[in-house]
Structure 1
């Protein structure tokens, strides 16, 4: 099926406001020994957390936040190693398990802001676009895999996704990694989409066309 893709806006951001909730802030404040966090004014929770975090050494704070978000995925040794690596590298881009990149980004940026830049500054990319089928009036809701395949014609050949997943991006092949490469995909009408991912995967320079056509074929699993 042929689609018309229009890139309406590309924003590079260093935080995604909706990720951390007030409940997260309260639970983290308790872990950073702030008393009666649940009684604090909701509008001040984030700033209170930053102040509470600053009373701890950066590595110790990193361990606390990593344990809070990733204790079900990582063991103690992995968390200790990550808390060291976060000072030197953007682990949210380089960690081998790409399924953890999104969470590591949010952890990294929370600590980056709490410590005024002692951690590397990572970025996320938010793309607003429309994807309209040219041969059908029945719009289906696209998956992350569908969206990445449709974006292919508008991306530079040097784009990391195209280089690492060339076959999946350009052929009728399954692309399970798309679920982790794209952090979030939302739509209200199955035509206009908001895509969130890492700048590591997709940056402004990667997008070489604002309007282009893409062909969507349903991937077939090969035994």
Structure 2
């Protein structure tokens, strides 16, 4: 099926604030020994957490946030290692298990904000675009791999995703990595897509086209 892709806006951001919920803030405040977190004004929870975090050493604070967010995926040794590495490097951009890069980014940036820059900063890229079918009704259930393949022609050849996953982006190989390259995919009315990904994987300046058409296989026609 052939689609028309129109880029509306590309933003580079240093946090995705809506990732953290009120409940996250309350549970984290408890880990940082803040009393009666549930009774605090929801509007103040973030700032209260930052104050509570700043009373701890950066590596210890990192360890506590990592335990809360990734305690079931990482061992104690891994958490210990990452909590120290985060102070000198953007671990979220290089971590070999791609499914952990997004949560590591959110943890990193929470700590970056709380400690006023003591942690190296990373970024996310948010792409707003419309994707419409040229000949038929648009498929609003496009998968992450299909969206990436549709974006392919609008990205610079310098883009790391195009270089590392050339066959996958061209539809010539299976593409399970797409689930973790796109961190979040939101679809709203009028075929509008909001794509959130790593600022390391797709940089704002690497989106070099504003409108193009591309044909890809229908989801049901391909097992890739």
Coarse TM-score class (shorter-chain normalised): over 0.9
Deviations 1:121-170, CA, capped at 9 Å, x for gaps: 11111110011111213534211001000001111111010011000001
Moved over 3 A (4+): 218-222
Find the counterpart in structure 2 of residue 161 from structure 1. 161
Deviation of 1:221 after TM superposition, in Å, equals 4.1
Alignment RMSD (CA, Å): 1.3
User: Contact 1:141–1:190 (CA<8 Å) still a contact in 2?
Assistant: no
User: Contact 2:131–2:138 (CA<8 Å) still a contact in 1?
Assistant: no
Cα separation, partners in 2 of 1:94 and 1:138, compared to 1, 3 Å: closer
Asked if residue 58 in structure 1 is aligned to residue 58 in structure 2, the reply is yes
TM-score for the superposition, normalised by structure 1: 0.96
Give the distance between the partners of 1:39 and 1:140, measured in 2 at CA.
41
Q: Which runs of 5+ in 1 are unaligned?
A: none
Q: Which runs of 5+ in 2 are unaligned?
A: none
User: Contact 1:152–1:214 (CA<8 Å) still a contact in 2?
Assistant: no
Aligned residue runs from structure 1 range 1-223, under 5 A? 1-189=1-189, 191-218=191-218, 220-221=222-223
User: Contact 2:63–2:79 (CA<8 Å) still a contact in 1?
Assistant: yes
Secondary structure of residue in 1 paired with 2:61: helix
Deviations 1:38-89, CA, capped at 9 Å, x for gaps: 1111111111110110110000000000000001100000000100110111
Deviations 1:88-117, CA, capped at 9 Å, x for gaps: 111110000010011001100000000000
Between 1:13-22 and 1:63-72, the stretch displaced more is 13-22
Deviation of 1:218 after TM superposition, in Å, equals 4.0
User: Contact 1:142–1:190 (CA<8 Å) still a contact in 2?
Assistant: no
Cα separation, partners in 2 of 1:42 and 1:206, compared to 1, 3 Å: same
User: Contact 2:124–2:197 (CA<8 Å) still a contact in 1?
Assistant: yes
State how many pairs are aligned: 222
Cα separation, partners in 2 of 1:89 and 1:138, compared to 1, 3 Å: closer
TM-score for the superposition, normalised by structure 2: 0.95
